[in-house]
């Protein structure tokens, strides 16, 4: 494998701390969105893990969402036990995770965040998530993803 950029290396190291050995794949045409990633990998869009940051009553939380689903902010608010939910802006995403939108990985963030896990991800044998850049992704089993993220499995999509 060619050398990984530092952002992707951080994700590999975070995975290793959870006992997971990642195989990061680079797609030069880009994997910035779930649709881009599915096209690059050649998988269903539902197999792409969107790592989305929302602000619930000011607390930044992570919604690990299947690429084929949309977040229902009312459900996510309820799951988080809050009252108000907004999408985080690009600066908040970078501050809390240490990564830029388009490459936010599901773990390896700069700060600990509560995480919520879309059960639809568990219907696939393998899912693909961002590895810290808009060009790098990695496959893993959704069960391993759930364990490594310590996320709460709950329905928060439309
Ligand atoms: N690498 C891909 C597939 S793993 C990826 O990171 N997809 S993603 O869905 O997790 O990240 C893109 C998401 O970032 C978009 O769906 C959108 O929800 C969010 N986003 C894009 N632009 C902005 C923005 N300006 N402010 C806040 N969120 C944004």
138 conformational bin, left if phi > 0, alpha if psi -120 to 50, beta if neither: beta
Report the DSSP beta bridge partners of residue 86: 55
Q: Which residue among 50, 105, 131 has the greatest number of ligand 1 atoms within 8 angstroms of its CB, and so is best to mutate?
A: 50
Has residue 3 got a pLDDT over 90?
Answer: no
Alpha helices in the chain (DSSP H): 6-17, 34-41, 73-80, 90-97, 142-149
Has residue 90 got a pLDDT over 60?
Answer: yes
Has residue 1 got a pLDDT over 60?
Answer: no
CA distances from 132 to 51, 145, 157 (A): 11, 15, 24
Per-residue model confidence as pLDDT tens digits over 70-81: 999 999 999 999
Protein residue whose Cα sits closest to atom 10 of ligand 1? 50
CATH numbers and ranges of domains, the chain: 6-153 (3.90.960.10)
Look up residue 129 and give its two tokens. Answer: 């998530």
* Separation between Cα atoms, residue 85 and residue 56, nearest integer Å: 4
Helix (H, G, I), strand (E, B) or coil at 154: coil
102 conformational bin, left if phi > 0, alpha if psi -120 to 50, beta if neither: left
Look up residue 10 and give its two tokens. Answer: 């951080």
Please give the helix or strand (H or E) that residue 110 lies within, else none. none
Length of the chain: 158
- Percentage of residues of the chain with pLDDT beyond 70: 99
Number of Cβ within a 10 Å radius of residue 21: 8
Cα of 102 vs centre of ligand 1, distance in Å, is 5
What's the chain's average pLDDT?
A: 97
Per-residue model confidence as pLDDT tens digits over 6-25: 999 999 999 999 999 999 99
- Least Cα distance to 86 among 61, 103, 69 occurs for 61
Q: What would you report as the CA-atom Rg of the chain, rounded to the nearest whole angstrom?
A: 14
- Enter the pTM of the model: 0.96
| pLDDT bracket for residue 156 (50, 70, 90) | very high
Protein residue whose Cα sits closest to atom 3 of ligand 1? 34
Protein residue whose Cα sits closest to atom 7 of ligand 1? 33
């Amino acid at each position: 494998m060619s050398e990984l950029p530092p952002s992707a290396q951080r994700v590999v190291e975070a995975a290793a701390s959870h006992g997971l050995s990642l195989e990061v794949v680079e797609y030069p045409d880009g994997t910035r969105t779930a649709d881009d990633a599915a096209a690059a990998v050649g998988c269903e869009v539902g197999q792409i893990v969107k790592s989305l940051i929302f602000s619930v009553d000011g607390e930044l939380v992570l919604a690990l969402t299947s690429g084929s689903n949309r977040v229902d902010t009312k459900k996510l608010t309820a799951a988080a036990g809050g009252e108000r939910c907004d999408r985080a802006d690009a600066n908040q995403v970078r501050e809390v995770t240490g990564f830029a939108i388009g490459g936010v990985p599901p773990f390896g963030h700069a700060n600990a965040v509560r995480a919520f896990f879309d059960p639809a991800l568990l219907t696939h044998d393998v899912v693909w998530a961002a590895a810290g850049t808009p060009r790098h992704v990695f496959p893993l089993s959704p069960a391993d993803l759930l364990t490594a993220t310590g996320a709460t499995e709950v329905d928060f999509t439309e």
